[in-house]
Amino acid sequence: MADHTQLLVEQYMDKQVPYSFNGGFVCLSYAISLIGTGTSLELIRRRTSHRGLHNLLLLVGAAIAMGGIAIWSMHFIGNRAIYMLDGEESFQIAYSTSLTVMSLLLPILVLVLAFLGVSGNGRIRWWRVLLAGILSGCAICGMHYLANASISNYVSSYQVSYLVGSIIIAVLASTTALALFFVFESTWSSAWWKRMGCAMVLAGAVSGMHWCAAVGTSYRLVMATPGKGVSRQDSMIVVICLAIAAGVVMTCLAIYASWRRRDYASKSQQVVLAAGVFDEKGRIMVTQDGYLPSEVVTDTYLPKNQSNDDVFNTNHPLFHWMFRASRNWDTIAAITAKMTSHIALLAQASGTGRAGVKLIGDDGLLVDDYDTILRELFCVTAEALAVKTKETLRRAGTLWDDIFVTGETRARARTPVLSTDKFSLHGLAEKGFQAHAAAVPEYGRGCLMFLVRRVEGKREVERLEAAGFRFAEVHQVVGSIRSSMHIKTPDLEARLRTMSTQKDRTMLLRPGVHVGMFA
C-alpha cells in the first residue's frame, strides 16, 4: 500500500490531481447552508433598531449564523464532497490552521457591517439593501477563496469565467433574497413560508457560488504529507457543533413563538389591559411579532348581585373609577407601593400570580373588599404595563372609553339568573368574565381595555424601538392584533385609528361648576 501511494505521489506531484463529487455531501452542504440562512433571517427580523444591547446581540448572532454556518460550514462540507483521486486517503484536502480561522472570522465581520446597514425598524432604504446584498455576496466569495488558500497540500487555480460567474451568482442571489425578505418584513406579510423561501434563495446563493467556483477549480499537488493543521475530520466536528447550535437556536425561537401565541390566546379569556401607544404619524407600537404589549388585570370579573345589568361595561361604576384614576396617575403613583404589597400578600396566600388573586372565599361568596381589590389590581397592572413599555406610571396613558370583547363568544341567554349562592358563584368562576357589547347582545369570555398615550418626538420613538418595540401602520398589524387576542370587535381598525387621532379628547373638565344639556 505504501509503495502504491508513493507511486501516485511521484506521478501527480506538482501536477493537477483529478477529483469527483459525492452527491450526498453536496445535498448535505445545501441543508447546512439552509439552516444557517434560516437562523440568520429569523434573528434579523427580530431587530427593531440599530441601538440597544438586545438588537446588538441579534445582529452578532445573525452574522455568526450566516457567516459561520451558512457560508463557512457549507464550504467545508462542500469540500468534503470533493474526492481527490477516487478517495485516496493520503491525497484528500487538508488545511492550515491560521487561514482556516481567518476564513471563519472574515464573513462574520463583513456580515456584521452588511446587516448593520439595513434598517431594523421596518423602513426600507433600497441603497442599504443593495449594499447589504453586495457585502453579503462579497463575504461569500471572500470566504470561499480565502478558505481555498488555506489548503496546505494543494495550490488552487481558477478559470476566469467560472470565477466571474460565481461572484455574479453570489451578489445577485444575496441581493434578491435580502430585498424580498425586507419587503415582506416592512409590510408585515412575512409568513413562515415566505421566510423559508428567502432562506432557500440565500442558501442557493451560497451553494450556487460554491459549486460554480468548484467546477472551475483545479488542484495542483504540492505536498504529499501535509504538516499539522485542520483535517477534514476536524472541520466536520466544528461544522457539526455550529449546526447543532443553530438547531438549538431555531428550536428555542419556535418554542418561544408558540408560547407567546398560547399566552396571548389565554389572555383573551381574561380581563386584560393593553398599551395603545401611537406616534405622531398615527402608527401603533407593537412587539416584534405584531402583538400589543399587555398585562392581565384578573382572571375573571364576577357580578355582585343577581341583576342582569351587573356586567362589566363602560356604564359600570368600577370602569368609571378606573377611567378617572387613569387621569390622576400623579396621585395614584404615591400609593401604588402599598397596593403592590397588598396584592402580593393576596397572591402569596392563594399561591398564584397577580392575575390569579382569589376573588371568591372558601364559603363560595365574594371576598371582602371585592371592589377595592379590583381597583388595586387595575392600578398595579397599569404600573406593570408602564414598566413593560419602558415608562413610569405617571406617563402610562389614559384609559380609553371603550371595552373590547375578546375570546369565545356565545349568544346571550333569554332569562339569565345570577345567584349569589355558593354553587352558582363557583360556576361563574369556571365560566369566566361576561362582557357586554353595546351594539350587539353578545357575551364574551374576556375583555380588553386600553391605556392610550401618544409619543412625541423622533427621539422617543427611537428609544422605544431600541427597547424592542416597533411602530407600524394600523392596517398592517390589525390582523395580528385581532387574531392574537381573538378580538370580536368588527371595526377594530377604525377604533384604533380613532385612538391615534384623539389626543386631547380625554382631558377632564377643570375644577368648577359646569352646566350641561342633554337632548
DSSP secondary structure, 463-519, as one string: HHHHTT-EEE-HHHHHHHHHHHHTB--TTHHHHHHHHHH-SSTTPPPPSS-------
Cell numbers describing residue 234: 476536524
Sign, CA torsion 43/49/53/56: positive
The whole-chain average pLDDT of the chain stands at 83
Tens digit of each residue's pLDDT (9 = 90 or more) over 354-367: 777 877 777 777 78
Amino acid at 403: I
> Which phi and psi angles does 241 have, rounded to 5°?
-65, -45
Integer Cα distance of 74 and 76 in angstroms = 6
Calculate mean pLDDT across residues 34-55: 87
In whole angstroms, how far apart are CA 452 and each of 17, 55, 396, 449? Answer: 72, 26, 8, 10
Tens digit of each residue's pLDDT (9 = 90 or more) over 273-322: 999 999 988 999 999 888 999 999 988 777 776 555 667 888 889 999 99
Q: Length of the chain, please?
A: 519
| pLDDT score at 411 | 45
Most confident option among 149-153, 258-262, 384-388 = 384-388
* Helix 126-149 vs helix 192-215: crossing angle, to nearest 10: 40
473 alpha-carbon distance from chain centroid: 18
Position 455 pLDDT exceeds 60: yes
In whole angstroms, how far apart are CA 274 and each of 222, 291, 404, 454, 477? Answer: 69, 10, 11, 14, 15
Q: Which residue has the higher pLDDT, 352 or 281?
A: 281
Residue 274 region, left (φ>0) first, then alpha (ψ -120 to 50), else beta? beta
Position 427 pLDDT exceeds 90: no
| Of 31, 12, 134, residue with least CA distance to 73 | 31
Tens digit of each residue's pLDDT (9 = 90 or more) over 218-257: 999 888 766 666 767 777 888 888 889 888 988 898 898 8
Integer Cα distance of 332 and 383 in angstroms = 10
pLDDT band at 506 (very low <50, low <70, confident <90, very high): very low
pLDDT band at 417 (very low <50, low <70, confident <90, very high): very low
Q: Which residue has the higher pLDDT, 108 or 432?
A: 108
Position 258 pLDDT exceeds 90: no
pLDDT band at 435 (very low <50, low <70, confident <90, very high): very low
User: CB neighbours (10 Å) of residue 237?
Assistant: 11
Give DSSP secondary structure letters for 17-81: PPEEE-HHHHHHHHHHHHHHHHHHHHHHTT---S-SHHHHHHHHHHHHIIIIIIIIIHHHHHHHT
Calculate mean pLDDT across residues 179-205: 83
442-454 and 271-278 beta bridge pairing: parallel
| pLDDT score at 44 | 87
